[in-house]
Chain A
Amino acid sequence: MDSSKKTINVKVNGESYEVSIKPKMTLLQLLRNELGLTGTKQACMDNSCGACTVIVNKMAVKACSVLAMQVNGKEVTTVEGLASKDGKLSILQEAFLEHSAFQCGFCSPGKLMSSTAMLDELENPTEEDIRRDMEGNLCRCTGYVQYLEAIKSVVQKRKEGKI
Chain B
Amino acid sequence: MKDFEYFSAGSLQEACSLISQYKDVGKILAGGQSLITLLRQKLISPTCLIDIKGLKELDFIEFDKKSGLRIGALTTHRAIEKSPLIQEKYNVLSEMEKSVASVQTRNWGTIGGNLCSADPIGDPAPSLIVLGAKIKLVSAKGERVVALEDFFTDYFTTIIEPDEILAEIQLPPPAPNTAVEYMKFATIEAGIKIVSTSVAVTVEAGSDVCKDAKIVMSAVAPVPLITKKAAEMLKGKKLTDDVIEEAAKMAASETDPTTDVHASAEYRKEIVKVLVKRATKKAFEKAKKA
- Residues of A participating in the B interface, judged by any CB pair closer than 8 Å: 1-3, 6, 22-24, 26, 45-47, 50, 53, 56, 59-62, 64-67, 69-70, 72, 114, 117-118, 132-133, 135-137
Contacts and interface: CB of A to CB of B under 8 A. Distances in A.
B87 interface: no
Contacts of B78: 59
Size bin of chain B's contact surface: 20 to 34
Given A1-B47, A70-B32, A135 B2 contact: no
B40 A66 contact: no
Question: A interface, by DSSP: helix, strand, loop or mixed?
Answer: mixed
A65 B108 contact: yes
Contact of A132 (B2, B3, B189): B189
A60 B78 CA distance: 11
Contact of A136 (B41, B53, B101): B101
Contacts of B258: none
A67 B29 contact: yes
A2 B190 CA distance: 38
Given A67-B32, A114-B104, A132-B98, A47 B6 contact: no
Nearest to A73: B54
A141 B171 CA distance: 44
A114 B36 CA distance: 21
Between A45, A60, A72, the greatest number of chain B beta carbons within 10 A of the residue's beta carbon is seen for: A60
Interface of B: 1-6, 8, 29, 32-33, 36-37, 39-41, 47-49, 51, 53-54, 78, 98, 101-105, 107-108, 188-190
B192 to A, nearest CB: 10
Contacts of B107: 59-61
B40 A1 contact: no
B6 A135 contact: no
Contacts of B54: 70
Contacts, number: 92
Between B33, B36, B51, the greatest number of chain A beta carbons within 10 A of the residue's beta carbon is seen for: B36
B32 A60 contact: no
B190 A65 contact: no
Contacts of A22: 3
A115 to B, nearest CB: 11
Given A60-B107, A65-B108, A24 B1 contact: yes
Given A24-B2, A59-B78, A136 B36 contact: no
Given A65-B37, A132-B189, 20 more contacts: A1-B3, A1-B4, A3-B47, A22-B3, A23-B3, A24-B3, A47-B101, A47-B105, A56-B108, A61-B104, A62-B108, A65-B32, A65-B108, A66-B36, A67-B51, A70-B32, A70-B51, A118-B103, A132-B98, A135-B190
B4 A23 contact: yes
Given A24-B3, A66-B32, A70-B51, A136 B39 contact: no
Nearest to B48: A1
Contacts of B8: 69, 72
B19 to A, nearest CB: 16
Nearest to A136: B102
Given A50-B102, A65-B36, A135-B189, A59 B3 contact: no
11 contacts: A1-B5, A3-B3, A3-B4, A3-B47, A24-B2, A46-B37, A47-B33, A65-B36, A67-B6, A67-B51, A136-B190
Contacts of B49: 23
A133 B103 contact: yes
